[in-house]
Structure 1
């Protein structure tokens, strides 16, 4: 994976995106500042995340206890194949990023094999990633690694994540949103794609950068964003072009066995 992190958090096209967003809505997080400057939706067209989500778990609550238990299970995975997959799933920027759904799709997704779909997914990352900006600022929840002092699967990203709200997970919104979009293109693979989208989201817990409830909240925002994307004429046109392209894409990536073995380590983890 290419190194996206501290460099992209601080420089690149994200600076222009930050200025534009600051003029129209909540300031972007380090992650969203390095996403594409423009998605398919205007800021005013995004769902109101604050009205869709409850607050993060309260101190001493049963939900917080479940978060803490899930945090400990994640820490036990450090160095495992599932930990390595979580590291790869943290990548939203490199040419390999959209390929996370290749095994579930049964098609090799990426800029070389499915350039139109790759471009569409990267553009939707702006919409999916920015929907939670205001809620993150409102709750300003510390991330797991800030409290437990343990490593994350992406240490190079930690400087940009410190002080950036943990609730909800923007990565989870993007990963699950991408799965919903590709499932629209391949309904016969829908179950596998949504399962991979949930696992992509849960990689943030495995990585020690988000709590279980952060991930669930991030996923909950994906569906209303994708619903609004489906009504956008430009998105529908790009989706139609991507559908034909995906049907002709190469089948069955070679690394799927390793991915399935890694995912099996958390498949029965309690929700």
Structure 2
């Protein structure tokens, strides 16, 4: 898959495959840094920080488990176990996590962070999440395009938790998981911004990736290696000046909002859902 095609696919996920208006990209100002122009993938969808300076997931990762191998048998066992959670609150959370559209996805870590996350409340954090999503997602494609691994819902001729996305997912390689790379990148950078919430943030990031198992969209090895791509992407991001500027501004926003209310009902429901774990996943 060429870079331009990858960008179109990822920007469609960012902007929303379903109906819903794009959120305009208006570079926010903050006391720590002046407003600046932000490049866009297409109108309303900000580009990442790294451009072509992405980690090479094909060089970084081992091949996915071969069919018939013990490792693939493990993937199959976890896949079948994960489907036992269909119809549960955890499945509902997995369905919500499958939606990468902004502003919806921006609130994924709000409960774990203890601070509301939105374009209005935390504009620089919001932009940081948008742009780092692009880098983490695109960083998976060297391996995705090379291995073209079949996803479990295709392998088993089943459905996912996001039927509207299935046509695109059928031609998008399963290994490694882009959702996991995005969620783990966010969990790691948010832990840097708010270390007192590290345990909750990392647990939510792990669940975000494992929800792809519950959605029948990925194998466990896809998820595990998605975290490796996230670590590589974040290491590269720390060498980017704009990323560092946005991190500093986001840290100030979080500090200023510490103690602000996050909807209690939503957080209680999320906590209850996260207590439901996939059998056999350690």
Question: TM class by shorter-chain length?
Answer: 0.7 to 0.9
Q: Following the alignment from structure 2 to structure 1, what is the Cα–Cα distance between the partners of residues 191 and 226?
A: 18
Equivalent position of 1:32 in the other structure: 10
Q: For 1:265 and 1:166, how far apart are their aligned partners in 2?
A: 24
Shift of 1:131: 0.5
**Which one of the candidate residues 166, 176, 190 is aligned to 1:182?**
190
3-state SS, counterpart of residue 248 of structure 1: helix
- Please give the residue correspondences for 1:130-145 in structure 2 after superposition, counting only pairs within 5 Å: 130-145=138-153
Cα distance in 2 between the residues matched to 1:77 and 1:198:
17
- Out of 217, 232, 242, the position equivalent to 2:250 is 242
1:259 to 261, 270, 279: 270
CA distance in 2, matches of 1:29, 1:52: 21
Match of 2:168 in 1: 160
TM-score w.r.t. length of structure 1: 0.86
Give the Å deviation of 1:228: 1.2
Residue 191 of structure 1 deviates from its aligned partner by 1.6
Which stretch shifts more, 206-215 or 253-262?
A: 253-262
Matches of 1:247 and 1:29, distance apart in 2:
34
Deviation at 1:76, TM superposition (A): 1.1
Contact 2:97 2:108 in 1 (8 A): yes
TM-score if structure 2 supplies the norm length?
0.83
Higher fraction of helix: 1
- Runs of 4 or more, structure 1, over 4 Å off, are none
CA drift of 1:268 comes to 6.5
Match of 1:3 in 2: none
| Equivalence for 1:148 | 156
Separation (CA, whole Å) in 2 of partners of 1:59 and 1:29: 30
Question: How many residues were matched structurally?
Answer: 248
Against the structure 1 CA distance between its residues 30 and 164, is the aligned structure 2 distance closer, same or farther, given a 3 Å change threshold?
farther
For the residues of structure 2 that align with 1:216 and 1:268, how far apart are their CA atoms? 16
**Structure 2: distance between partners of 1:110 and 1:205:** 27
Decide whether the 8 Å contact of 2:82 with 2:279 is kept in 1. Answer: no
Q: Does 1:232 pair with 2:243?
A: no
- Given the alignment of the two structures, is residue 52 of structure 1 paired with residue 60 of structure 2, yes or no? yes
Segment of structure 1 superposing worse, 106-115 or 62-71: 106-115
Do the aligned partners of 1:29 and 1:164 also contact (CA within 8 Å) in 2? Answer: no
Q: CA deviation at 1:111?
A: 1.8
Residue-by-residue CA offset, 1:182-206 (whole Å, 9 max, x unaligned): 1111011112111111110111111
**Root mean square deviation of aligned Cα:** 1.8
Deviation digits for residues 81-116 of structure 1 (CA, Å, limit 9, x no counterpart): 111101111121131211110111111112232121
Change (3 A) 1:32 1:223: same
Q: 1:176, 1:158 → 2: CA distance? A: 23
Q: Give the equivalent residue in structure 2 for 1:8.
A: none
Corresponding residue of 1:4 = none
- Contact 1:30–1:164 (8 Å) recurs in 2: no
